[in-house]
Structure 1
Amino acid sequence: MKYKKLFETVKIRNVELKNRYAMAPMGPLGLADAEGGFNQRGIEYYTARARGGTALIITGVTFVDNEVEEHGMPNVPCPTHNPVHFVRTSKEMTERIHSYDSKIFLQMSAGFGRVTIPTNLGEYPPVAPSPIPHRWLDKTCRELTVEEIHSIVRKFGDGAFNAKRAGFDGVQIHAVHEGYLLDQFAIAFFNKRTDAYGGPLENRLRFAREIVEEIKQRCGEDFPVTLRFSPKSFIKDWREGALPGEEFEEKGRDLDEGIEAAKLLVSYGYDALDVDVGSYDSWWWSHPPMYQKKGLYIPYARLVKEAVDVPVLCAGRMDNPDLALAALEDGACDIISLGRPLLADPDYVNKLRTGQVADIRPCLSCHEGCMGRIQEYSSLGCAVNPAACREKEAALTPALKKKRVLIAGGGVAGCEAARVLALRGHEPVIFEKSNRLGGNLIPGGAPDFKEDDLALVAWYEHTLERLGVEIHLNTALTKEEILAANVDAVLIATGSNPKILPLDGKNKVFTAEDVLLDKVDAGQHVVIVGGGLVGCELALNLAEKGKDVSLVEMQDKLLAVNGPLCHANSDMLERLVPFKGVQVYTSSKIVDTTEKTAVVDVDGELREIEADSIVLAVGYSAEKSLYEDLKFEVADLHVVGDARKVANIMYAIWDAYEVAANL
């Protein structure tokens, strides 16, 4: 078996893991109850990943302290708020997870400090090691007192004691990484203290040292205590992060200090280091979008692994099993952490173990359902897996009566609807006007950095074939054909069409879709109209191909309308576009074309920009004419995805799942 090494056992302290896969910690927003226990959704969510074969479950963050830094219940679980209740709810979860021969660690946090997400901050002043600027707000943080530090340390002991009693196999400390409170103490850029917790590196790590010593004293030396750790910060300045390949002066933790810190932390008693890089000032490193390469943390994990004698975990777009295998064989790490890939497919590990790689639903690194929704709505989910974090409520049930369902459109909404209907025992039939399934995923997946969009198309093609779904390509249905069809229900998933501007020079005015699909030659000098997601990704794609690209946007900034929900994605893309040499014109609009130029109104001034082509990326219009034709003719009629409302992949999938799960 090719991936046999990924299924060898490994130990963290005295805890043996059945394979080399861990579930990386992701914020458990929505998975707690009002008393700080795990609610039923949380229990089902973590148990599903254990059932799916993952050897080690690491919960998302829980807060041990609610006095120094207030966290409104029920934001996330809390092992110290109501210990009896926490133990009661956690014990149910840990027992179920152990039934699958999996282990589970509780991640416990000292707090967020200057990076507290504003929606979670309330009226409490943000805290930090020193009076420094908050990451998001125009506020100066309050310096923690020594008494407050000692109080938090004691709370870690309480939390770990309760976790051990509840059946957790160990804990992970959150974190000397990503610029959270413990990390702020560890980094001189944030820590200006002159007492025992500031100054030399050993002093800045004192907080982290006292935590592990307290837990070991309370729970015993053999109780594993691991640490989330970033050996490099990628901070250029306050609220300014560095891009891949950018030359800059590191203001946060550099690699030399990172390796020294790793050695010290292990000497203090930490039993494993869970390695990534980045900070909230550069959070496209800590939460890598699709614009970051896969396995981006491997080089940093290797440096840490060479410096310490405890297991090293490595996450960061590690869903490619060949990449994961190579990381183990090269000695870069001991354990592979999967975060978002296990949101997308809780059965990833079992599918890989049994050679069903094509059955693994891919993660898009889009952050729409996970980090984006955490950021905006304090709720964890997944764009491609609507059942994530609601495994019981969204579980598919067999159809009471088998129906033949006609689906007009084979884009992502049509494919998802067909998949769900087939799993429930219905008989879906897809009619797609083009020569393949996928809809807007096909042009959207054309850039190299969007490879997972095409992987999702391949997954749908494979899954629908396995389920025996009837598919008719190159077939555009009319109202009359649908009415004449012998079906019980009709789903309209006809998607959307690119908006077109009334410009002269039709022989050089193209849509983004035509350029992405190489249907036309855009030439060397390309002017893109529209600085939304499609326009920015197209600009990045063409710039990486060596084209001279100009981007014209009416708003005063890129991605101002309908950009990615998660700032890690939007912030990185917004900075990458000019970094790759794209000339950006905001507060601008195209007004005319000439034989060799585009005439652009730049903040009231007309400019001619050299243009072999003008590419329109000004949005999409719902294609729902078929639905309008049928809405008074078909009793069981539904419209899903972009045909209902132009949005993104997530809402197309979620729409289709909701309708098909209840048909």
Structure 2
Amino acid sequence: MTQQTDPLLQPLQLRHLTLRNRIMSTAHAPSFQEGGHPRDRYRLYHEEKAKGGIALTMIGGSTNIAPDSPSVFGQLYAGDDSIIPWFRQLTDGVRKHGAAVMCQITHMGRRTAWDDGHWLPVLGPSGRRERAHRAFPKVMEQEDISRVIKDFAAAGERCRQGGFDGIELLSHSHLLGQFLSPLVNCREDDYGGSLDNRLRLTLQVLEAVRAAVGPDLILGMRVTGDELAEGGLSAADCIEAAQKIAATGAVDFLNVLAGAPYDDLGLAGWVAPMGMPAAPDLNVAGAIRAAVDLPVFHAGGVADIATARHAIREGQADMIGMTRAHMADPYLVQKLRQGAEERIRPCVALGYCVDRVNQGKPAVCGHNAATGREMVMPHVIAPAEVRRKVVVAGGGPAGLEAARVAAERGHQVVLFEAGSRLGGQIALAAKGMTRRQIWGVADWLICEVERLGVELRLNTYAEAEDILAEAPDAVIVATGGWPEALDMPGGHLVTSSWEVLSGEARVAGEVLLLDEVGDHAALVCADVMARMGCTVTLATPDRMAGHDLGPTNSAVVLRDLARQGVVFESLLEPVSVAAEGNRKRITLRHVLTGELQERVADHVVSEHGITPAEELYHALKPGARNLGQLDHQEMIAGRSPFAEVNPSGAYWLARAGDAVAGRNIHAAVYDALRLCKDL
């Protein structure tokens, strides 16, 4: 499609505001705030999307308006005037690149924690607890209601002074939505019972904010289109509520999503990881759009251009939120305009971004290491002044990213891979059904290195002499690692998860899966074995299976395994394995009590981590100008980490990814980016 015919590239008039296309980043909290403010890291993250051509970036996901709505996942705080100068810097920065910018504000109600911030009780329409955030709320009195209305109005005025094009009030699942939902609101006063009563607070807040910001600022609301839960708001309820909101004349758009994110699986339905349907709620947004005479935005998990284009073309929405898609590639719109849609780095729903935030960590994209690090890491790789020869050993994510970045710099790149295909451990990770789309990470990297002309040498186990024969200026060792063996009596009787996933080992019958790591690897192996017809028990010394996973990934993966009959047992570590005929007898120890117990199974499979394949690195180290060492302070600052300590050396040398230590995809690509961006 051309720019003239592509529905996604047509402008949208939102009253006096012209949005340059139909793609937006919806409000979210990446946990980049500092002191509740959107300072440089936060600003540059949103500026990058504006540079990339987005029409509208909505900042401040769940920006809190009052001290009894404390931040529990790194939100901004608009409850006092100190945020206004930071707002102004951000809005000026985004707008200079041609994008519109708005801010979302909210009171979280019960969807927060009482033991954070100022230790004030959380609020709610009723005393019903939310499982996800766990607090029992104080039932709001009329005085609380009046105060919250004033707090909304004051925060709206601060947004206006901060220079935003508009404000979005968050209803869905937060305080306003809690009053609206019969799952949460069981009041018997003027704010409970009928739909009109449950909507009363929303309309009062809307009236107060509009009065505070005046008639010219764009004002919208993120609303529920269907709670998709028994006893919750139905689609008909939500349409009626949307019509009543629109009838006030106070709002300029509605932003629609569905679901009830009151527990981990509900959150996963809202911010979907792999294993959940893609963009399942477009029809919900379309039903609201057909019922109101307002522009309708969609905020629910559209990750690809084809789906976004379909939604606009078929009239299901006027603007499409592609938030995580922009975390994967903030230059998505620019590539679309240039006719290079196939070069967009895809969001494959790793869920690493949202799960880190829910674990109290800043968001990062699982396979774009520059996202959120715009102060020190580039999204667009600058060409080098002098063309060099770069040799990469290993074709997993670290090696592929190193080759891609070095080739973008203009260097001549040769990549050695011992196997017959590229992708490394991603090929094993994609064997499971729930997480099979993880292969998209490798697929994009492979396409990029081929496009850039990287010389690929497959089926070549590179020795030091093979590397040196290339006369390299720099060598990146990304050789990954191997499964760590179980060091215990009978450890040789245990099959590694790699052997199962690669097809090297065949298992059947009853399988005891020992997971020492607590990440995805063992769970993918359990998925594969269960689908082969095995009866699988997963035992872990951790408090729970999937201990290191965040709430969305763990909920979906464990749900899918439970549906297949996989049994989870916690707080158990292996002591020994012995042959018993054709079967295995396993002794396990409770990690807290020390009590021993025995099991018998047909096979014992273990996920016990990675031992780095580091022989090549050590063989090359003496001839390196830096002896393989990296300056950590320079690396942290975003500068070249290579410093010459061996004047007789012939090349720079570094390891990346699991060749250093067993970690994950993000660590691998981050290693590669900061090693190669200045080569």
Once the two structures are TM-superposed, the CA of residue 586 in structure 1 deviates from its matched residue by 4.2
Give the counterpart letter for 1:539 in structure 2: A
User: Does the Cα contact within 8 Å between 1:226 and 1:274 map onto a contact in 2?
Assistant: no
Answering whether residue 159 of structure 2 is matched by residue 126 of structure 1, we say no
- RMSD between aligned alpha carbons? 3.3
What SS does structure 2 have at the residue aligned with 1:386? coil
Match of 2:545 among 555, 559, 562: 559
Give the counterpart letter for 2:273 in structure 1: P
Number of the residue aligned with 1:214: 208
| CA deviation map 1:100-134 (0-9, x unaligned) | 2x322211112x23222689546343333333436
What SS does structure 1 have at the residue aligned with 2:105? strand
Number of the residue aligned with 1:238: none
Distance in 2 (CA, whole Å) between partners of 1:64 and 1:418 is: 43
User: Does the Cα contact within 8 Å between 2:11 and 2:18 map onto a contact in 1?
Assistant: yes
Number of the residue aligned with 1:246: none
Distance in 2 (CA, whole Å) between partners of 1:505 and 1:387 is: 41
Distance in 1 (CA, whole Å) between partners of 2:214 and 2:75 is: 30
Answering whether residue 84 of structure 2 is matched by residue 107 of structure 1, we say no
Number of the residue aligned with 1:634: 624
What SS does structure 2 have at the residue aligned with 1:76? coil
User: Does the Cα contact within 8 Å between 2:9 and 2:22 map onto a contact in 1?
Assistant: yes
Answering whether residue 153 of structure 2 is matched by residue 157 of structure 1, we say yes
| CA deviation map 1:197-219 (0-9, x unaligned) | 33333222222211222233333
- Size of the aligned set, in residue pairs, is 634
Answering whether residue 237 of structure 2 is matched by residue 253 of structure 1, we say no
What are the equivalent positions in structure 2 for 1:338-487 lying under 5 Å apart?
Answer: 338-368=322-352, 370-395=353-378, 396-399=381-384, 402-487=387-472
Distance in 1 (CA, whole Å) between partners of 2:611 and 2:284 is: 45
| CA deviation map 1:626-650 (0-9, x unaligned) | 2233334423321111111111111
Moved more, 429-438 or 14-23: 14-23
What SS does structure 1 have at the residue aligned with 2:103? strand
User: Does the Cα contact within 8 Å between 1:528 and 1:549 map onto a contact in 2?
Assistant: no
User: Does the Cα contact within 8 Å between 1:499 and 1:621 map onto a contact in 2?
Assistant: yes
What are the equivalent positions in structure 2 for 1:533-572 lying under 5 Å apart?
Answer: 533-543=520-530, 545=531, 547-555=533-541, 557-561=543-547, 563-564=548-549, 566-572=550-556
Give the counterpart letter for 2:398 in structure 1: A
What are the equivalent positions in structure 2 for 1:74-153 lying under 5 Å apart?
Answer: 76=76, 78=78, 80-82=80-82, 84-86=84-86, 88-97=88-97, 100=98, 102-110=99-107, 112-116=108-112, 121=117, 123-133=119-129, 135=131, 139-153=135-149
With over 3 angstroms needed to count, the CA separation of the structure-2 counterparts of 1:317 and 1:450, relative to structure 1, is: farther
Match of 2:475 among 482, 486, 490: 490
| CA deviation map 1:349-380 (0-9, x unaligned) | 22223331221112232232x22332334423
What are the equivalent positions in structure 2 for 1:193-204 lying under 5 Å apart?
Answer: 193-204=187-198
What are the equivalent positions in structure 2 for 1:501-650 lying under 5 Å apart?
Answer: 501=486, 511-518=496-503, 522-523=507-508, 528-530=513-515, 532-543=519-530, 545=531, 547-555=533-541, 557-561=543-547, 563-564=548-549, 566-587=550-571, 589=574, 591-592=577-578, 597-601=583-587, 604-609=596-601, 611=602, 615-635=605-625, 636-650=652-666
Number of the residue aligned with 2:631: none
Distance in 1 (CA, whole Å) between partners of 2:135 and 2:311 is: 42
Give the counterpart letter for 1:210 in structure 2: Q
User: Does the Cα contact within 8 Å between 2:276 and 2:556 map onto a contact in 1?
Assistant: no
With over 3 angstroms needed to count, the CA separation of the structure-2 counterparts of 1:259 and 1:12, relative to structure 1, is: same
User: Does the Cα contact within 8 Å between 1:358 and 1:462 map onto a contact in 2?
Assistant: no
User: Does the Cα contact within 8 Å between 1:276 and 1:300 map onto a contact in 2?
Assistant: yes
With over 3 angstroms needed to count, the CA separation of the structure-2 counterparts of 1:512 and 1:258, relative to structure 1, is: farther
With over 3 angstroms needed to count, the CA separation of the structure-2 counterparts of 1:60 and 1:538, relative to structure 1, is: farther
User: Does the Cα contact within 8 Å between 2:327 and 2:371 map onto a contact in 1?
Assistant: yes
Distance in 1 (CA, whole Å) between partners of 2:113 and 2:182 is: 22
Give the fraction of aligned pairs with identical amino acids, expressed as a percent.
Answer: 27
User: Does the Cα contact within 8 Å between 1:503 and 1:593 map onto a contact in 2?
Assistant: no
Number of the residue aligned with 1:26: 28
Give the counterpart letter for 1:228 in structure 2: R
What SS does structure 1 have at the residue aligned with 2:459? coil
When normalised by structure 1's length, the TM-score is: 0.85
Number of the residue aligned with 2:270: 286
Give the counterpart letter for 1:309 in structure 2: D
What SS does structure 1 have at the residue aligned with 2:435? helix
With over 3 angstroms needed to count, the CA separation of the structure-2 counterparts of 1:120 and 1:18, relative to structure 1, is: farther
Match of 1:182 among 173, 176, 184: 176
Number of the residue aligned with 1:660: 676
Once the two structures are TM-superposed, the CA of residue 171 in structure 1 deviates from its matched residue by 1.5
User: Does the Cα contact within 8 Å between 1:527 and 1:598 map onto a contact in 2?
Assistant: no
Number of the residue aligned with 1:263: 243
With over 3 angstroms needed to count, the CA separation of the structure-2 counterparts of 1:503 and 1:400, relative to structure 1, is: farther
| CA deviation map 1:524-580 (0-9, x unaligned) | 76654437422222333454x47243133132654355x32x221123322331123
With over 3 angstroms needed to count, the CA separation of the structure-2 counterparts of 1:504 and 1:64, relative to structure 1, is: closer
With over 3 angstroms needed to count, the CA separation of the structure-2 counterparts of 1:90 and 1:9, relative to structure 1, is: same
Number of the residue aligned with 1:230: 224
Distance in 2 (CA, whole Å) between partners of 1:427 and 1:650 is: 25
Distance in 2 (CA, whole Å) between partners of 1:649 and 1:454 is: 12
Give the counterpart letter for 1:262 in structure 2: A
What SS does structure 2 have at the residue aligned with 1:114? coil
Number of the residue aligned with 1:43: 43
With over 3 angstroms needed to count, the CA separation of the structure-2 counterparts of 1:598 and 1:483, relative to structure 1, is: same
When normalised by structure 2's length, the TM-score is: 0.83
| CA deviation map 1:427-477 (0-9, x unaligned) | 332211112221111121233443442222121112112222222211112
Distance in 1 (CA, whole Å) between partners of 2:529 and 2:205 is: 50
User: Does the Cα contact within 8 Å between 2:536 and 2:567 map onto a contact in 1?
Assistant: yes
Distance in 1 (CA, whole Å) between partners of 2:384 and 2:279 is: 42
Number of the residue aligned with 1:240: none
With over 3 angstroms needed to count, the CA separation of the structure-2 counterparts of 1:94 and 1:394, relative to structure 1, is: closer
Distance in 1 (CA, whole Å) between partners of 2:13 and 2:521 is: 45
Number of the residue aligned with 1:6: 8
User: Does the Cα contact within 8 Å between 1:64 and 1:80 map onto a contact in 2?
Assistant: no
User: Does the Cα contact within 8 Å between 1:496 and 1:646 map onto a contact in 2?
Assistant: yes
Give the counterpart letter for 2:620 in structure 1: L
Moved more, 454-463 or 391-400: 391-400
Once the two structures are TM-superposed, the CA of residue 37 in structure 1 deviates from its matched residue by 5.0
With over 3 angstroms needed to count, the CA separation of the structure-2 counterparts of 1:86 and 1:211, relative to structure 1, is: farther
What SS does structure 1 have at the residue aligned with 2:81? coil
Q: Flag structure 2 segments of 5+ consecutive residues without an equivalent.
A: 591-595, 626-651
Once the two structures are TM-superposed, the CA of residue 296 in structure 1 deviates from its matched residue by 2.3
What SS does structure 2 have at the residue aligned with 1:205? helix
Distance in 2 (CA, whole Å) between partners of 1:188 and 1:594 is: 58
Give the counterpart letter for 1:230 in structure 2: T
Number of the residue aligned with 1:171: 167
| CA deviation map 1:167-224 (0-9, x unaligned) | 42222112x22x3222222223333434333333322222221122223333345643
Distance in 2 (CA, whole Å) between partners of 1:85 and 1:459 is: 40
User: Does the Cα contact within 8 Å between 2:60 and 2:75 map onto a contact in 1?
Assistant: no
